[in-house]
Structure 1
């Protein structure tokens, strides 16, 4: 059994060859109607890697054992600690992207789509969860020790601090 300080996992699936990431447009709170990574809540006695692999399978139908840990993101609002989540990335091939056509609705969570990273990061794009765009600047160079500290003020993103050796 692995003890987990945080209750959630979050993953980004990326294809270098096509410069695309797989995102989920959520149908419910939190982040309803916004593009986000996949992931979810750890089951009792479940380790973080097992959780992100399971959640990805449940939300996409993809079995991705190649996930790499990229640290932790914590978040707070108006100074109140709201918890955190374990971060992961998985690299897939162009062939895997082509064999997984989108957009598609695989489960009740929402619509999945491969999105070009330039589109995701565009400054005028308000359809992606705010902290996702900021985290993607450092996520693929982050390590298991990295820490992303996210602060919200009155429901709006105030900032994300990246600490490569943070925790």
Structure 2
């Protein structure tokens, strides 16, 4: 697999609105994401989530940082062990991913009385109500870590496996499967991350932007995670 080192990528030409549905956010990442790869056969360990967010989709392992007295890496190691049983000591910090979720109402053109359909309005209200109920901010960020394991370690970790009954099924997936344009079963921004993230570093910043459920823009900014004012 050849990994891209492009410094910027835009997923669509949709114009991004200037405001989100909230005005402030904590710039310190509140979540972790761990990506475990076997480089020798281009396989990555994913979990089919049984909990929101990303319910029913394949994603990396990680979660909310609940104990801020420990490092993000220590938090991830606890999450990895709890969700997969793996005890890995070679995770590398690959940077920070920031997400922004915009309301379609934010970008309506009031000058020409643009309106959404009643169906779209209903979906919008349900979506943002669920975000609030799940305590998911419309903007936030997470630390990204990666780990490479040997082919022998891969062969010894047999999947599919449901290690934690509350979290979902674990399975090894090929990079080609993950990046297939017709694969709608994977969390969409992973298709943006995977070709880049194993070559990034802790100072890199990834940005994903949504209109409600639709991913509209992705950006990779090497070095920009250092200065939070650029977020």
1:82 Cα deviation from its structure 2 partner: 1.6
Correspondent of 2:145 among 85, 88, 92: 88
Matching residue of 1:22: 45
**How many angstroms does 1:154 deviate by?**
2.0
Q: TM-score, normalized by length of structure 1?
A: 0.94
- What's 2:216 paired with? 158
CA RMSD of aligned residues (A): 1.4
* 2:24 alignment partner in structure 1: none
* Whole-angstrom CA distance in 1 between matches of 2:68 and 2:193: 28
Shift of 1:44: 2.8
Compute the TM-score of the two structures, normalised by the length of structure 2: 0.69
What is the CA-CA distance between 1:81 and the residue it aligns to?
A: 5.0
Separation (CA, whole Å) in 2 of partners of 1:106 and 1:127: 21
Residue number among 54, 57, 62 corresponding to 1:31 in the alignment: 54
Correspondences of 1:101-116 after superposition (within 5 Å): 101-107=158-164, 108-116=166-174
Where do 1:25-64 residues align within 5 Å? 25-42=48-65, 43-64=67-88
Contact kept, 8 Å, 1:17 with 1:93, in 2: the verdict is yes
Instruction: List runs of 5+ in structure 2 lacking aligned partners.
Output: 1-26, 104-136, 226-231
Any idea what SS the aligned residue of 1:137 has? Answer: helix
Relative to its length, the structure with more helix (as a share) is 2
Q: Which residue of 1 aligns with 2:181?
A: 123
Richer in strand (by share): 1
* Structure 1 range deviating more: 76-85 or 102-111: 76-85
Aligned residues: 164
**Which structure exhibits the higher relative contact order, with contacts defined as CA atoms closer than 8 Å and separated by 6 or more residues?**
2
